[in-house]
Structure 1
Amino acid sequence: MILSLFDQFESPVLLGIPLIALALTLPWILLPAPATRWLNNRLLTLQGWFINRFTQQLLLPLNPTGHKWAILLTSLMIFLITLNMLGLLPYSYTPTTQLSMNMGFAVPLWLATVIIGMRNQPTHALGHLLPEGTPTPLIPVLIIIETISLLIRPLALGVRLTANLTAGHLLMQLIATAAFVLLPLMPSVAILTSALLFLLTLLEVAVAMIQAYVFVLLLSLYLQENV
């Protein structure tokens, strides 16, 4: 029986129990915990340096009101990167290829930024729906267009993360299957295909980190408009 290429994106089940909860919990177990020693080891020092640099870069365009989101955004960044990277291991599962899960991250966080803007500065938040200097006949049309663009933001967040990871995994599986089939027929072509697969794997590692960064960066930009 020939399996579908999309079977790898199904949530694994053991004895009728979905294992997606285990996949979501595993990253927090793998991360090294801070030690009580005066001096940390190299891994903890590198982890702390990375988190500090990312937090500074993320909060640079935000005013002090938005700095309250530092822990949430940094934790989300580390969580998404770890999930994406673990999904590249053999016999593993990538929860971030599920659109429902990504929308579960995107919609509440986007809605929180909108609610904050409406509560703290409603005039400024509603002002984004109508650019300054708009001709009077175009006002109703522009308000409708800007409202649609505002409501489509969480969908764009979730679909972008899902589509990039799904496309990368499918391409890796297709090239790996081609290399496996060509190995007994044309070994030289199979070796070249395997080299291409190795380069694609390196690209997917970069995509896994970049897409997590883009997800959090766009959230910080939405927050910047509302604080």
Structure 2
Amino acid sequence: MIKCFLSHSSKDKEHYVRIVSSNLRRDAQKFDEITFEKGMGNIEEIKSSLDDTSLFVIFLSNHSLNSDWVKNELAYAKEKFDSNQINRIYPIIIDNNISYSDDRIPEWMKKDLNIQSLQSPKIAARKINVRLTEISWKFHPKLKERQEIFVGRNELIQQIEERLDDFDQPYPKALIASGLPSIGRKSILGYAAKKSGLVKGAYKFIFIPLTNQDGIEDLLLKIYDTGVCYF
């Protein structure tokens, strides 16, 4: 089964990593509430936990970069990655005081990997889910084919593509579909966005349900709750 390993400092657990974990499938992650840093583990336990990991996620902070246990986890994950036993290493900076150029970040990571700074744990969880989906599609191509199947509405899809490719007009800032519930508005926009290259195939869209009782304050609160922006 495809799983991710959440490598982190225990000092980052409460305010960040636990929130990430709560937004991931429970059976698709390696996240131990009793951390190695509390003296409950050794290198063999780290190796055992990493043996069935497909995605190694490391949360980079001042605490984790100074943690011997995190260093051990990363060293073993790199060995497994180099031998094609781990599919991907995904570094995420979660500390405003840490930059890409930090001397404690290994040179191979700076050179070979896309190191992202994500201060929102909910956004980090969404991106981890995308990485897991990409790995899943690699091993199970039929799952990808199933997601990419879209029947009908060819004329509407073509209209969206033509508008996006119309260089005589300003580039659209939004795609909006109206109509009755359950007629495929979200599916059309999602398929068109992926087919046009606006987002990658494994991208997970955010849906914000609203009712006629919701006001602008409700909308702002729901946007805030997604973690995509701060007010």
TM-score by length of 2: 0.24
Between structures 1 and 2, the one with greater helix share: 1
Structure with max Cα Rg: 1
TM-score (ref. length: structure 1): 0.25
Q: Which has the higher strand share?
A: 2
